[in-house]
């Protein structure tokens, strides 16, 4: 083996410290990454379930390293000072949190600036942090892998916009395909001569060239990056959309056109205040919306989804063994939550087995949510009894969970609300119920009431509770309880069972002490 080959084998690049040495490992222990972008510098510390990491710490500083790069060819001097200070702060925080050295990457501004290498050396000299400068192809790949962290098995086109560049990457069957990079970052476009007309002409010409490289891309378009999220917030404001969760927010091509017009017709400062977007980010929105309009017009995706996951999550996904990548991020997050917060970890499985006969005809995507609900049915027990139902709904609809559409969040939230409360009317969440059909609202009620009843038959995990049998053609709900669980079928248990039967529109048959 040559010295060069040996160096390749021992140098992990930005992944010099493997995080997932054990393929069966399901928990993270505070892993920190830093993303030095053209517009912002961000540190994220991940914790929790490895397949569905939670954000233990998340801080962003708007530095605008790439401002003026197109004209000067150098990093913005003020941005450089701010970025160095931010990175120093982040490394100090990491030391305080016991994380040690952070994994750090830099993207378009640092790789393109003539003083980029000098900045990289200064960062290492001043903070001890080694900054890995990645090219556009690698940036596209890592961003696409971040999307795969939240959407396993997804297919479509990932569009990641930063301050100085925009990357496109194909994903299909859990793999990243062709990738391209472009100078369509809003900081660069802001410095472009020719005004709005010249900018749009440049965007269209660049996208036409990218289209020739990638070919037709009419599947889903995944949007990654702060400028896209700002536009999504404005789209939510325009629509009066009730759930302000960015991840998995959906837009259509018509919505992009309507929001473009909405931005043009409204005062940016007023929009910024109403949509809770920073001043620095809002200043880039007019350039970013022109890019998005061009991307949509060029590639004609069948729908558009916003991803909160990107390059930082892609850095984690890079190190996951395939066995871990193949796990469902929603179920892994729920399992982790149950093991950490439930009173009897493991009872969720027993509860699931007990109520499953009610849902034999459910589609696989619904059965997945039923499993998640059972794992989460008791994790909010520490909340005050008067507020448990609301806490459950809040957690399900607003938690940072991957692999969960907005409609699925509301279904899961309603099921967990009914775990603690018979009626859903009179809550502060009623505007969110409209995101699912009345039929699905009833289905969530039935699931919640089934869990509410099953939780009364609380034995140790893997205990033989008995079974429920559901005969939909006869509208008959039969309860058969074991000798072990029959003494638990008291007055309150019976009332909850009858409430479940009422929601099903069923008659009942009860058999106790079944052997």
Task: Identify whether 372 is part of a domain.
Answer: yes
Same domain, residue pair 172 and 125: no
Task: Identify whether 126 is part of a domain.
Answer: yes
pTM, rounded to two decimals: 0.90
SS3 483: coil
Provide the token pair at 336.
Answer: 């982790």
Same domain, residue pair 357 and 486: yes
Q: Angle at Cα 299 formed by Cα 296 and Cα 304, nearest 5°? A: 50
User: What confidence score (pLDDT) does residue 14 get?
Assistant: 53
Provide the token pair at 103.
Answer: 């994994």
Same domain, residue pair 359 and 435: yes
Is 49 in contact with 61 (CB distance < 8 Å)?
Answer: no
Outline where DSSP puts E strands in 421-475: 466-471
Task: Identify whether 83 is part of a domain.
Answer: yes
CATH assignment of the domain containing 72: 3.30.420.40
Helix 406-420 × helix 438-454 angle, to 10° = 40
**Residue 144's closest CA among 132, 124, 160, 131?**
160
Any idea which residue has 């079928």 for tokens? 489
Same domain, residue pair 126 and 151: no
Same domain, residue pair 296 and 345: no
- Domain extent for 356: 328-514
Rg (the chain; Cα; Å): 26
Task: Identify whether 143 is part of a domain.
Answer: yes
Task: Identify whether 323 is part of a domain.
Answer: no
Same domain, residue pair 211 and 122: no
Task: Identify whether 320 is part of a domain.
Answer: no
Same domain, residue pair 193 and 235: yes
Task: Identify whether 4 is part of a domain.
Answer: no
**Residue 141's closest CA among 328, 318, 325, 324?**
318
Domain final residue, candidates 263, 281, 313: 313
Q: For the chain, how long is the longest CA-to-CA vector? A: 83
User: What confidence score (pLDDT) does residue 320 get?
Assistant: 86
Q: Which strands sit side by side in the sheet containing 131-133, from one edge to the other?
A: 54-62, 40-49, 27-36, 103-106, 131-133
* CA separation, residue 442 to residues 115, 131, 356 (Å): 61, 53, 17
Helix ranges restricted to H, 113-225: 116-127, 136-150, 186-190, 195-214
**Residue 100's closest CA among 13, 27, 32, 11?**
32
CATH assignment of the domain containing 186: 3.30.420.150
Q: How many CB atoms lie within 10 A of CB 213?
A: 11
Distance CA 204, CA 291 (A): 8
SS3 311: helix
User: What confidence score (pLDDT) does residue 26 get?
Assistant: 57
Question: Structurally, how many domains does the chain consist of?
Answer: 3
User: b/e per residue, 144-159, with b = 16+ CB within 10 A?
Assistant: bbbbbbbbbebebbbb
User: What confidence score (pLDDT) does residue 5 get?
Assistant: 47
Same domain, residue pair 116 and 30: yes
Same domain, residue pair 470 and 347: yes
Provide the token pair at 255.
Answer: 């919505």
Domain final residue, candidates 255, 289, 313: 313
User: What confidence score (pLDDT) does residue 12 get?
Assistant: 45
DSSP string, 111-131: HHSTTHHHHHHHHHHHH-PPE
Beta bridge partners of 43: 34, 59
Distance CA 8, CA 5 (A): 5
**Residue 247's closest CA among 329, 165, 191, 302?**
329
Q: Angle at Cα 249 formed by Cα 248 and Cα 253, nearest 5°? A: 120
Same domain, residue pair 130 and 249: no
Is 150 in contact with 308 (CB distance < 8 Å)?
Answer: yes
How many angstroms from the chain centroid is the CA of residue 342? 23
User: What confidence score (pLDDT) does residue 155 get?
Assistant: 92
CB contact set of 3 (below 8 Å; sequence gap of 6+): none
User: What confidence score (pLDDT) does residue 6 get?
Assistant: 46
Domain final residue, candidates 285, 313, 341: 313
User: b/e per residue, 163-197, with b = 16+ CB within 10 A?
Assistant: bbbbbbbbbeeeebeebbbbbbbbbbbbebeeeee
User: What confidence score (pLDDT) does residue 22 get?
Assistant: 55
Any idea which residue has 């393929």 for tokens? 23
Is 13 in contact with 24 (CB distance < 8 Å)?
Answer: no
CATH assignment of the domain containing 482: 1.10.3210.10
Provide the token pair at 137.
Answer: 């192809």
Same domain, residue pair 229 and 93: no
Task: Identify whether 7 is part of a domain.
Answer: no
Phi, psi of 296 (to 5 degrees): -65, -40
Type and span of the H or E element at 371: helix 364-376
Is 199 in contact with 281 (CB distance < 8 Å)?
Answer: no
Same domain, residue pair 277 and 228: yes
Q: Angle at Cα 313 formed by Cα 309 and Cα 318, nearest 5°? A: 135
Phi, psi of 284 (to 5 degrees): -95, -10
Helix 438-454 × helix 491-504 angle, to 10° = 160
Q: What does the pLDDT profile of the chain (515 residues) look like in tens digits?
A: 444 444 444 444 555 444 554 545 556 778 899 999 999 999 999 988 888 888 999 999 999 999 999 899 999 999 999 999 999 999 999 999 988 778 999 999 999 999 999 999 999 999 999 999 999 999 999 999 999 998 888 899 999 999 999 999 999 988 999 999 999 999 999 888 888 899 999 999 999 999 999 998 989 999 999 999 999 999 999 999 999 999 999 999 999 999 999 999 999 999 999 999 999 999 999 999 999 999 999 999 999 999 999 999 999 898 888 888 888 999 999 999 999 999 999 899 999 999 999 999 999 999 999 999 999 999 999 999 999 999 999 999 998 778 899 999 999 999 999 999 999 999 999 999 999 999 999 999 999 999 999 999 987 767 788 999 999 999 999 999 999 899 999 999 999 999 999 999 999 999 998 87
Distance CA 392, CA 394 (A): 5
């Amino acid at each position: 083996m040559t010295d060069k080959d040996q160096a390749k084998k021992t140098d992990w690049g930005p992944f010099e410290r493997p995080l997932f040495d054990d393929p069966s490992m399901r928990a993270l222990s505070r892993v920190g990454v830093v993303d030095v972008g053209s517009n912002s510098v961000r540190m994220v510390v991940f914790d929790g379930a490895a397949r569905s990491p939670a954000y233990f710490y998340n801080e962003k500083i708007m530095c605008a390293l790439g401002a003026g790069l197109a004209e000067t060819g150098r990093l913005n001097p003020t941005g450089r000072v701010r970025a160095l200070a931010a990175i120093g702060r982040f490394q100090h925080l990491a030391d305080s949190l016991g994380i040690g050295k952070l994994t750090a990457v830099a993207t378009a501004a640092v790789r393109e600036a003539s003083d980029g290498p000098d900045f990289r050396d200064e960062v290492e000299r001043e903070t001890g942090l080694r900054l890995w400068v990645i090219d556009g192809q690698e940036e596209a790949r890592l961003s696409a892998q971040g999307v795969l962290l939240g959407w396993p098995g997804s297919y479509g086109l990932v569009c990641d916009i930063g301050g100085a560049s925009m990357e496109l990457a194909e994903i299909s069957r859990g793999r990243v395909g062709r990738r391209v990079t472009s100078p369509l970052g809003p900081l660069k476009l802001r410095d472009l001569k020719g005004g709005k007309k010249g900018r749009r002409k440049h965007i269209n010409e660049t996208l036409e060239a990218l289209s020739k490289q990638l070919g037709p891309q009419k599947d889903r378009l995944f949007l990654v990056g702060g400028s896209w999220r700002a536009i999504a917030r404005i789209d939510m404001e325009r629509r009066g959309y009730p759930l302000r969760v960015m991840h998995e927010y959906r837009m259509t091509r018509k919505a992009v056109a309507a929001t473009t017009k909405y931005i043009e017709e409204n005062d940016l400062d007023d929009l910024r205040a109403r949509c809770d977007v920073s001043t620095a980010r809002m200043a880039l929105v007019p350039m970013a919306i022109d890019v998005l309009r061009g991307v949509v017009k060029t590639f004609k995706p069948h729908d558009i989804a916003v991803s909160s996951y990107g390059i930082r999550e892609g850095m984690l996904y890079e190190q996951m063994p395939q066995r871990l990548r193949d796990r469902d991020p929603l179920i892994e997050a729920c399992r982790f939550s149950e093991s950490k917060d439930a009173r009897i970890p493991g009872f969720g499985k027993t509860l699931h087995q007990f109520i499953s006969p009610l849902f034999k005809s459910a589609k696989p995507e619904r059965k997945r949510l039923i499993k998640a609900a059972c794992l989460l049915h008791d994790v909010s027990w520490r909340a005050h009894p008067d507020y448990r139902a609301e806490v459950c709904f809040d957690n399900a609809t607003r938690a940072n969970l991957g692999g969960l559409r907005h409609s699925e969040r509301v279904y899961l939230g309603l099921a967990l609300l009914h775990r603690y409360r018979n009626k859903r009317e009179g809550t502060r969440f009623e505007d969110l119920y409209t995101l699912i059909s009345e039929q699905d609202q009833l289905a969530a009620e039935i699931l919640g009431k089934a869990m509410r009843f099953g939780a009364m038959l609380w034995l140790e995990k893997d205990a033989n509770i008995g079974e429920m049998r559901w005969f939909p053609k006869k509208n008959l709900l039969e309860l058969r309880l074991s000798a072990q669980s029959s003494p638990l079928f008291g007055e309150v248990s019976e009332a909850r069972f009858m409430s479940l039967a009422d929601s099903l529109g069923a008659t009942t048959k009860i058999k106790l002490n079944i052997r």
